[in-house]
Chains A and B, each alone.
Chain A
Amino acid sequence: MDTANDLLTIRNLTTSFRIKETYHAAVEDISLSLKKNEVLAIVGESGCGKSTLATSIVGLYNPVNTKVSGEIFYNNQNLTQLNDEQFNSLRGNHIGFIFQDPLSALNPLMRIGEQIAEGLMYHTKLSKQQRGKRVLELLNQVGIAKPERVARQFPHQLSGGMRQRVVIAIALSCKPSILIADEPTTALDVTIQAQILDLLKALQSETETGIILITHDLGVVAEMADRVAVMYAGEVVEEAPVQELFTNAKHPYTRSLLNSIPQTHSENERLEVIQGMVPSLMNLPREGCRFSARIPWIDAAAHESKPQLHEIAPGHLVRCTCWKHFHFEGEEGGGTV
């Protein structure tokens, strides 16, 4: 793989949490890369490890019960080796982070302007006046009409959409080269979601930021992403350019997910259902194909014993070989290659 243009390269990242004295990997052996000006979407259902992946990149996990191994390269530094202090010079400065719930992501006791300026205080040499000016610039940039007024307000005085704009302004304050957005629009109404997504796109084309977009919403993926990684039970099961993924998905999990979106069905048709349940962290199948339990009608021989990601077309990776034999239940024959 060509890594020269990569902004961020993740190699064999494993993050484990300690539960009752044993470590369980929530994210296992992930290798991904992010390029400049690219939106990499990480999709999966709750418990697939996508948020753990995000917090591992910026070191926002609790070091007491978390173990991270593997490599995350940014600017020739391996982030997994950094201590908290070294991380602090990257966080907010080179890597911005947007959280899911704008309601709780802002400190209720602090004025908006103060919260945006906080990062500037530590990462830049701007004077107080210059910081104030930059805050207004940022608020303007994220489409807030009366920046002077909003800067003096408290979070509870703003609507959900406005607060998310403020959170974005915080993330962008030091012009980061990477933005990690963890479900940035899940808590918002659709019209506000559309505005926020458009805003992120517009800001990206201005600043050439690489965005890692964590989401469960395939609609948001289709609107935003350039490349998509689908996660299931702590692993990436499929990675592809966005068009390829929506038109030519291969992995049984990706296909099932796409098939369970109401939009893809004519009315009154049954939605596709994946049998069984997402296994919990402590019960993850650590050997063999992790998805096999949910497609029991597929012959065991169809799975690899140690499922690997295979590049089946340029940039299109699929884990395991079961996809070649996969058909929906009741459907005839295997998948097409």
Chain B
Amino acid sequence: MSFMQISDLNVHYPIRGGFFNTVVDKVYAVDGVSMEFEKGKTYGLVGESGSGKSTTGKAIIGLEKITSGQIFYEGENVTNQRRNRDSAYNKDIQMIFQDSHSSMNPRKRVLDILAEPIRNFMKLSDQEERKRIKELLAIVGMSEDVLLKYPHEFSGGQKQRLGIARAVACNPKMIIADEPVSALDLSVQAQVLNFMKDIQREFGLSYLFISHDLGVVKHMCDHIAIMYKGRFVETGTRNDIYMNPQHIYTKRLLSAIPNIEPETRLERKVIRQDVEANYQKEQHKYYDEHGKVYPLKSISDTHKVAMSDIERGGI
């Protein structure tokens, strides 16, 4: 059973203009997105820059104002509690960022950085707090002598692990990870991904994993949603998306991923060009006259695709 549901989430930004600076149009950054999350699962949110994937993550955690839509957490409507300091929601849902460096106060030591969420959400004595911080460092595999160091003294991968330690400090139920490994080198990325999987297994965490990297998403996620212009074009399990993509946009995205088999690169190029030609030719089946993505329709228990009714009839 899902413990958290997002229903019809919208984040719109007004565009002002004209003589009196009135709202003349809107940017539909997130345009009617619904999701639900189960315990211990990883949900991938994939899209290109400007697709609204980061905005979705920020809106869920309360860093972005929601225009309309609801968030339910353990049966309760928490849409307006997202920024309430004392709410369980605020404690249970945490976030890690792409740039962990700029998400940490450069003048605070590791000790203070990790103590902050603990002081905010858990009423612990000084000794218990100290103990918890040491536990956290053990979880992320760092020794206690880093406690008095400052963020700039760590490498990118270490900082990302500190970011994770901060996020898990209060035993959250879910972590929203916004491009957590995009800025990291390959070998460091592997460390962080492994580590995220480890703590997921250990604590039964759920992840909302936001990324543009389809390879990483495939490795990490159970369920995947492909996002384009603020809407989902296709959602489904990993197999649904990677083995049986239905939406032309998904197909195009998948065909563009570089593969590490040099011997098949010419074949892939032919496929890629076919998909691209198809994309140009058959756009009308997948986007309405305003270029908007159609509403999602189920094509199996787990798999949903955004297509026009006419196209659906054809399948």
Contact = CB atoms under 8 A, between A and B. Distances in A.
Q: Tell me, yes or no, whether A and B come into direct contact in the complex with CB atoms closer than 8 A.
A: yes
Interface of A: 45-46, 160, 189-191, 193-194, 197-198, 216-220, 222-223, 225, 242-243, 246, 256-258, 260-265, 267-268, 270-274, 277-278
B214 interface: yes
Nearest to B260: A222
B312 interface: no
B152 to A, nearest CB: 13
B216 interface: yes
Given A189-B212, A191-B253, A273-B190, A261 B260 contact: yes
Given A46-B185, A223-B258, A190 B214 contact: yes
B256 interface: yes
Contact of B186 (A193, A222, A242, A261): A261
Contacts of A272: 190
Given A190-B257, A190-B258, A270-B197, 15 more contacts: A190-B256, A194-B258, A194-B272, A223-B258, A223-B259, A225-B262, A260-B186, A261-B186, A261-B215, A262-B219, A263-B218, A263-B260, A264-B260, A272-B190, A273-B190
A219 B215 contact: yes
B218 A267 contact: yes
A216 B183 CA distance: 12
A324 B214 CA distance: 34
A260 B187 contact: yes
B258 A217 contact: yes
Contacts, number: 104
Contact of B49 (A189, A222, A257): A189
A100 B110 CA distance: 33
A172 to B, nearest CB: 21
13 contacts: A194-B256, A194-B272, A220-B258, A222-B258, A222-B262, A223-B259, A243-B262, A260-B186, A262-B219, A265-B219, A267-B238, A273-B194, A277-B157
Nearest to B187: A274
B261 interface: yes
Contacts of A46: 185
Interface in B244-261: 252-253, 255-261
Contacts of B283: none
A274 B192 CA distance: 12
Of all A-B residue pairs in the complex, the 10 with the closest CB atoms, nearest first, are: A219-B258, A262-B219, A260-B190, A271-B190, A45-B185, A194-B256, A189-B48, A274-B187, A190-B256, A191-B256
Interface of B: 48-49, 155, 157, 185-191, 193-194, 197, 212, 214-216, 218-220, 238, 252-253, 255-263, 265, 268-269, 272-273
Contact of B261 (A160, A222, A265, A278): A222
Contact of A262 (B191, B215, B265): B215
A213 B111 CA distance: 43
Nearest to B181: A262
A46 to B, nearest CB: 6
A193 B252 CA distance: 12
Contacts of A271: 190, 193-194, 219
Contacts of B218: 262-263, 267
A223 B48 contact: no
Tell me which of B187, B212, B273 has the highest count of chain A C-beta atoms within 10 A of its own C-beta. Answer: B187
A219 B257 CA distance: 8
B186 A223 contact: no
A273 B187 contact: yes
Contact of B262 (A189, A242, A261): A242
Tell me which of A216, A222, A246 has the highest count of chain B C-beta atoms within 10 A of its own C-beta. Answer: A222
A191 B258 CA distance: 10
Contacts of B256: 190-191, 193-194
A293 to B, nearest CB: 14
B194 A246 contact: no
Contacts of B215: 219, 261-263
A160 B212 CA distance: 16
Contact of A45 (B187, B197, B258): B187
A223 B264 CA distance: 9
Contacts of B220: 262
Contacts of A243: 262-263
Contacts of A278: 185
Contacts of B273: 198
B185 A216 contact: yes
A257 B186 contact: yes
B258 A193 contact: yes
A198 B266 CA distance: 11
Tell me which of B212, B258, B272 has the highest count of chain A C-beta atoms within 10 A of its own C-beta. Answer: B258
Nearest to B195: A273
Contact of A256 (B187, B194, B214, B269): B187
Nearest to A256: B187
A219 B259 contact: yes
A261 B190 CA distance: 7
A222 B259 contact: yes
Nearest to A277: B155
Contacts of A216: 185-186
A257 B187 CA distance: 6
Contact of A260 (B189, B212, B268, B269): B189
